[in-house]
């Protein structure tokens, strides 16, 4: 972390960045109604975090590729413990905002473009947790945008089966996705 010359402890700095993202979710609906909204979504992370923080995050992600899946798994688990997030990281994550980011990655041009600029393992892992977040909202009756997960599930299963050999949790992802496919396949 010393290479990045942060002006505050990294825990505090990155908690602030994460809270800024959570407080400013992207547009998930009507993205293509006007060019401005599409451009805002395409540059969402840059607009919220700024150039310097983007460069820092890219550097960290590049160095921590081997830990990325574990980090996302831990973060996803922690979203079920808001009191811990508040106490340890000063984070408040409304479920609607988390849902918006999941919808952004799965259902918008800006979100999909962002994912396709990442390496395949990161793209598949982010997509997997986005599916889980939308599914959780569906099960809890909080799916306010009515996102259809079936295409995302089918696409992700195919991608993981064909190119996911470098994923640490490949079998876990596929087991969960096949269960979801069966569950959503029985709905109409």
Average pLDDT, the chain: 87
Each residue of 77-114: pLDDT tens digit? 999 999 999 998 988 988 888 999 999 999 888 889 88
Domain ranges of the chain: 8-185
Q: Evaluate if residue 1 carries a pLDDT over 90.
A: no
Number of CB atoms found within 10 A of residue 151's CB? 11
- The pLDDT of residue 35 is 83
Number of CB atoms found within 10 A of residue 100's CB? 21
Distance from C-alpha of 13 to C-alpha of 4, rounded to nearest angstrom:
11
- The pLDDT of residue 7 is 77
- The pLDDT of residue 12 is 85
| Three-state secondary-structure class, residue 115 | helix
- The pLDDT of residue 186 is 63
């Amino acid at each position: 972390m010393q290479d990045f010359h942060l002006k505050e402890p990294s825990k505090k700095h990155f908690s602030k960045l994460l809270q800024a993202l959570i407080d400013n979710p992207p547009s998930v609906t009507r993205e293509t109604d006007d060019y401005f909204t599409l451009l805002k979504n395409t540059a969402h992370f840059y607009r919220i975090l700024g150039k310097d923080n983007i460069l820092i995050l890219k550097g960290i992600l590049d160095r921590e590729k081997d830990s990325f899946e574990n980090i996302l798994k831990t973060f996803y688990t922690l979203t079920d413990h808001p009191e811990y997030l508040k106490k340890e990281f000063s984070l408040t994550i409304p479920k609607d905002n988390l849902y918006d980011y999941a919808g952004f990655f799965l259902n918008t041009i800006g979100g999909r473009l962002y994912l396709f600029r990442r390496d395949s393992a990161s793209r598949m892992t982010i997509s997997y947790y986005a599916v889980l977040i939308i599914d959780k909202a569906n099960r809890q009756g909080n799916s306010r945008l009515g996102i259809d997960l079936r295409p995302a599930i089918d696409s992700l299963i195919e991608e993981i089966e064909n190119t996911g050999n470098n994923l640490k949790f490949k079998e876990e992802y596929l087991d969960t996705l096949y269960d979801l496919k069966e569950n959503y396949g029985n709905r109409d």
